[in-house]
Chains A and B, each alone.
Chain A
Amino acid sequence: MARSLTLTGLDKSFGATPVLRGIDLSVNPGEFVSLVGMSGCGKSTLLRMIAGLESPDRGRVAIDGQDVTEADPSDRNLAMVFQSYALYPHMSVRQNIATPLRMRQMTLAQRLPLIGRLLTPAALRSEIARAVEDAAETLQITALLDRKPAQLSGGQRQRVALARALVRNPAAFLMDEPLSNLDAKLRAHMREELAALHKRLGATFIYVTHDQIEAMTMSDRIALMSEGRIEQLGTPDELYHSPATLTVARFIGSPTINLLPAEADAEGRVHLFGTDTGLSTPARGPLTLGLRSEDLRIAEQGLPVQVLRCETHGADRYIGARVEGGEDLRLTLRQPTLHPAPAEGQRLHLAMNGEAAHLFDAEGRRASVTRRERVAA
């Protein structure tokens, strides 16, 4: 039962510090949307606001068009997977998974220990038990059902937390950095599994992370947040290939995008270190030119640099270099390891793939760029 989610004009301050400023976001039923950003950008607060764990100062939260801004967390039918998994330490895995169902379907008297068993209809009990078994099977933790959380590994706890979330068939899944406590290998594996789970359930996922790789690999759309605002909302490709702001360009992509100071003259010709790049823009004055590491290559002539270090990453090699000319500007260039590695300290010339260049004006907003002619930079 995938539901849509609509956030309108959400504002929140903690004391005098604004945390969220005018957040608008609409999530379609069954969509996987990631909220990414540096720590302190407000992404977790936003997620907790959807969950009902924080109240907005202004604005509305709606599920399937129904306003839930003032509804209690338990009345929203949302499931949350926490960074620390938040399993109940005194309950077995089975009890942990059953809890959301017990709380929803049983009365307080039925939940009491011992007496509760007598008051609960057998049909309800077996229904809950079956739902727990199903959820455990989906996440392949049937063998762990009678253990306590303390006896589980991080990855296993993660699965229990997921099972506890999906057992109640929620309107949407909220995930707060669920993979950040796992080691790198397990994290890569769980990324795949989460994406597969999302596909299988067809449910709405809101996923908070500071890791752009997680966001890029799993999401239908990404909302990149900074200082309480959504900087850009778009598909992973859109964020990578046409970042709307300098902040987005810096955040998305690994290695980090290369940024060079550039200048547009009165005719809009873009100059880099005094040389015409052959690019034109409607913007004027000082600009920042962004180039991904794969859009630079070693050439006979071009930007002179000195090699600082080479890092081999299997198929690719990242070459870190310093731009010659006094300023402390560093660039990263990616080339296949088939090519021979340059020596440290070696001087090289770099050419750029002008089509892939990004321009940002003094305020950090994207400026459009066109290629005039092929001129070696």
Chain B
Amino acid sequence: MADMAPAARPRSLEDRRLRKGILFALPAGLLLLAIYIVPLLVLGGFSLTDYRLGALNWHFIGLENFAHAFADPVFLRALRNTVLYAAIVIPCGIFLGLGVALLVHGRKRTRGFWEFAYFLPVTATLVAMATVWQFLLHPTLGPVNAAITFLGFDPVSFLGNPKLLIPTLALIGTWQVVGFNMVLFLAGLTAIPKDLLEAARLDGAKSPIDRFLTVTWPMLGPTTMFVTVTTSITAFKVFETVAVLTKGRAGSETLLYALYLEGFDYSNTGYAAALTLIFLAIVLVLSIGQTLKLEKKVHY
């Protein structure tokens, strides 16, 4: 029992215990500092200057970048485009996801197949799939337009007509998000106790629509909330399809694409920092509710 001698250890048991905790958390803590905290502070700093990457001197210009942003036709167009994109993707993504989930939920033997079919677009590399969509929607060579002409309509120039660019991107966005939402809704549906639906049936909710409105829909409340938040954030982050399909031509930039061009193509670092902060503010507003809920849950 010689090793029991406390003299061999300089620190007290409690100190050693606390030190272990710190040591375990330290690598992640330092990375948090280097990847999140310092960059966010630097970002805030940039946004108040006219700094351009590579430039030798820069000036403090206060909130001018923000003022400029809200007068910049390109940025405002990108903002409008993104809002339009979101306005299509959010409702379509949620309701199609819910609809598919309701249909899949009742299937027993075929459920696996439907899950696979609808979830596949979520996993696929969007850049590659955007290229495929470009081909599919080609005005003369693609099968979609072939079907449209076959039905007796004029071919639609999905990626040629400037008015149709954003709706087309939104179509692809919806295609990708439906499966994700379906799985979340399926999880929500599984969590609804069967007794509740049977109780509703006994209470006179005879038609499935009645039961959906009295039990299923209200019980899916938290899931719907969560799906709405994730879909909105995904929608505001649209980038890949723009980069592959339009490259912002004919005024089809989105928020993130405009930001990419300013920051990394034109090197307007200061201005891009301001745009980034606006983008971050939108995302934070969308996610604040869920985050506070989470925070409460974690701290009991």
Contact = CB atoms under 8 A, between A and B. Distances in A.
* A and B, direct touch (CB closer than 8 Å): yes
Interface of A: 52, 55, 63-64, 66-72, 75-77, 171
B4 A71 contact: yes
Contacts, number: 32
Contacts of B16: 72
B6 A71 contact: yes
Interface of B: 1, 3-6, 9, 12-14, 16-17
B1 A66 contact: yes
Contacts of B1: 63-64, 66, 77, 171
Nearest to B3: A75
B6 A67 contact: yes
A52 B12 CA distance: 11
Nearest to B14: A55
A70 B12 contact: yes
A58 to B, nearest CB: 12
B13 A55 contact: yes
7 nearest interchain CB pairs?
Answer: A55-B14, A70-B6, A55-B13, A70-B13, A71-B4, A70-B12, A68-B4
A75 B4 contact: yes
Nearest to A73: B13
A73 to B, nearest CB: 9
Contacts of A75: 3-4
Contacts of A63: 1, 4
Given A55-B12, A77-B1, A69 B6 contact: yes
A242 B13 CA distance: 40
25 contacts: A52-B13, A55-B13, A55-B17, A63-B1, A63-B4, A64-B1, A66-B1, A66-B4, A68-B4, A68-B6, A69-B6, A69-B13, A70-B6, A70-B9, A70-B12, A70-B13, A71-B4, A71-B9, A71-B13, A72-B13, A72-B16, A75-B3, A75-B4, A77-B1, A171-B1
A70 B13 CA distance: 5
A77 B3 CA distance: 10
Given A55-B13, A66-B1, A70-B6, 14 more contacts: A55-B17, A63-B1, A64-B1, A66-B5, A68-B4, A68-B6, A70-B9, A70-B12, A71-B4, A71-B13, A72-B9, A72-B13, A75-B3, A171-B1
A63 B6 CA distance: 13
A66 B7 CA distance: 12
Contacts of A70: 6, 9, 12-13
Contacts of B4: 63, 66, 68, 71, 75-76
A68 B2 CA distance: 11
A67 B7 CA distance: 10
B186 to A, nearest CB: 30
Contacts of A52: 13
Contacts of A69: 6, 13
A75 B16 CA distance: 14
A8 to B, nearest CB: 15
**Residue with the greatest number of chain B CB neighbours at <10 A, chosen from A64, A72, A76, A171:** A72
A214 to B, nearest CB: 30
A77 B1 CA distance: 8
Contacts of B9: 70-72
Contacts of B3: 75
A299 B3 CA distance: 67
A55 B6 CA distance: 14
Nearest to B17: A55
**Residue with the greatest number of chain B CB neighbours at <10 A, chosen from A70, A76, A171:** A70
B123 to A, nearest CB: 31
A171 B4 CA distance: 12
A71 B5 CA distance: 7
A71 B8 CA distance: 10
Contacts of B17: 55
